[in-house]
Amino acid sequence: MHTIELSDEELRMVYAALHSYLDDFGHKEADVLRQIKALIAKLPQSA
């Protein structure tokens, strides 16, 4: 397991990047969509 510390601005950037990445995938990449959504769910909600 890895731990990283992010400022509020960095966390907002990670959210934005993951959501942009998520928007780029179609229905054929369901496994990737699930993994990205699971990763987003792990992030703190303060962003």
Question: What confidence tier does 29 reach under pLDDT thresholds 50, 70, 90?
Answer: confident
- Give CA–CA dist 3/40, Å, rounded: 15
Does residue 25 or residue 5 have the better pLDDT? 5
pTM for this model (two decimals):
0.73
The CB-side HSE value for 26 (13 A sphere, CA atoms) comes to 1
Question: What confidence tier does 28 reach under pLDDT thresholds 50, 70, 90?
Answer: confident
Does residue 47 or residue 27 have the better pLDDT? 27
- Give CA–CA dist 10/47, Å, rounded: 9
- Give CA–CA dist 42/35, Å, rounded: 11
